[in-house]
Amino acid sequence: MQQLHPNDVIWRNARLATMVPGESAPYGLKEQHALVVRGQTLLAVVPESDIPSGHHNSVDLQGRLVTPGLIDCHTHLVFGGDRAAEWEQRLNGVSYQTISAQGGGINATVTATRNSTPETLLRLAQQRLQRLMAEGVTTLEIKSGYGLNAEAEEKMLQVANQLAQDNPVDISPTLLAAHAVPAEYRQNPDAYLALVCEEIMPSLWQKGLFEAVDVFCENVGFTLAQTERLFQAAVALGIPVKGHVEQLSNQGGAALVSRYKGLSADHIEYLDETGIQVMAHNGTVAVLLPGAFYFLQERQRPPVEQLRKQGIPMAVATDYNPGTSPFASIHLAMNMACVQFGLTPEEAWAGVTRHAAQALGRGATHGQLQAGYVADFIVWDAHHPVEMVYEPGRNPLYQRIFRGEGV
């Protein structure tokens, strides 16, 4: 091991679930190991017996479990209002069409978000973020998509960036202006898409407000041709793409995302063999969102067995949003991914660590405990990683370390 500096911190006497792929032990488990942290980076992962004697800057973890910080790679955390009354209406037998005609559905959230001040949006999003951070989340993605005009989309992304400044958390902001067609463009969706491609996306990209572009490609969203137009415009500006695809029907969106070297294809319940092959060929991550599946009482599961066979990385996320997945619990999402979609607990853990990092373009720096990675990790009052998946209401988080600092 290289020479230690006086300020290096040794987090010793731990059981490490490194989540490094290819290790012989499940979860990359290492008994009696230590993490050496220099500044914001993991300098080394060493056996307890290799720790140099006489280094005073150390923390005894007393045999506790340590994992990488959790990553929630698909959320809609910033929005105004809520849809609780509408959810109750649906359960009382009112159709979604009727609710929509009354100004409900996504339009209700767009109206509430447009009418909310940045301060209100920030306060509400802060409460939601707090719940994710309390479960060990150190990195998360936040999408826009409830503004659907230049001003309100910018407002949402500014709030996401403010959250990153105010909290010990890494936030990856995504532009989802192509989430739905706003009411004022209902008769002319192509004109709205042109606005996104020619004005909203270029100007907000120039301001450095987002890292990637997303779209809802679906029979109730944007067509395959419209989605391709958006991707062409994004790629011309050097912007990475991703997509909500194959959630309610098979439109061929996953294959399209992959052909544009997209970071991830998300939802994918209706993904077919062609889509799987194109994803495998292009290294696109499959993001599974069991919360929306549960709340919508869907029956069509994503093709997990085929994804597994092709070696496609599977991420798991909360999809936190007011309409179809209103819960800010990454542990519950992991549990649902196992119970509803058939992932193993180890796959669920990979889904919120190294595969989620890959989905956010952070695969070489986040989601694993190994030398050179960012020092984001969680200390748990737990013996084994399966405990957080098995019992989602119990949260054994002991300490959260973000960029080398206990927070």
Over its length of 407 residues, how does the chain's per-residue pLDDT go in tens digits? 678 999 999 999 999 999 999 999 999 999 999 999 999 999 999 999 999 888 989 999 999 999 999 999 999 999 999 999 999 998 999 987 788 778 888 889 999 999 999 999 999 999 999 999 999 999 999 999 999 999 999 999 999 999 999 999 999 999 999 999 999 999 999 999 999 999 999 999 999 999 999 999 998 899 999 999 999 999 999 999 999 999 999 999 999 999 999 999 999 999 999 999 999 999 999 999 999 999 989 999 999 999 999 999 999 999 999 999 999 999 999 999 999 999 999 999 999 999 999 999 999 999 999 999 999 999 999 999 999 999 999 999 999 999 999 99
Furthest-apart CA atoms within the chain: distance in Å: 73
Q: Domain 9-69+368-406 is in which class? A: mainly beta
Cα gap 253→260, rounded to integer Å: 11
Contact 126, 119 (CB under 8 A): no
Nearest residue to 404 (alpha-carbon basis) of 39, 66, 33: 39
* 3-class SS of residue 394: coil
Compute CA 344 distance to the chain's CA centroid, rounded to the nearest angstrom: 19
Q: What is the CA radius of gyration of the chain?
A: 21
- In the chain, ranges of CATH 2.30.40.10 domains: 9-69+368-406
Half-sphere exposure of 62 (CA within 13 A, CB side): 5
Interior angle at CA 83, CA 80 and CA 89, nearest 5: 160
Contact 389, 352 (CB under 8 A): no
Cα gap 262→265, rounded to integer Å: 7
Count other Cβ atoms within 10 Å, centred on residue 289. 28
Tell me the two tokens of residue 281: 């060929």
What pLDDT is recorded for position 237?
A: 98
Instruction: State the virtual CA torsion across 328, 329, 334, 338 in degrees, nearest 10.
Output: -90
Tell me the two tokens of residue 158: 């500014």
Tell me the two tokens of residue 9: 């911190």
Q: Where are the alpha helices (DSSP H) in 93-252?
A: 96-101, 106-115, 118-134, 150-166, 189-195, 201-206, 224-236
Fold of 70-359: TIM Barrel (3.20.20)
- In the chain, ranges of CATH 3.20.20.140 domains: 70-359
Instruction: State the virtual CA torsion across 102, 104, 110, 113 in degrees, nearest 10.
Output: 110
| Cα–Cα distances in angstroms (integers) from residue 87 to residues 91, 111, 178, in the given order | 6, 17, 24
Tell me the two tokens of residue 333: 């999402």
Cα gap 58→53, rounded to integer Å: 11
* 3-class SS of residue 299: coil
Burial class (CB in 10 A: 0-12, 13-18, 19+), 104: buried
What pLDDT is recorded for position 96?
A: 77
- Which H/E stretch holds residue 59? strand 58-60
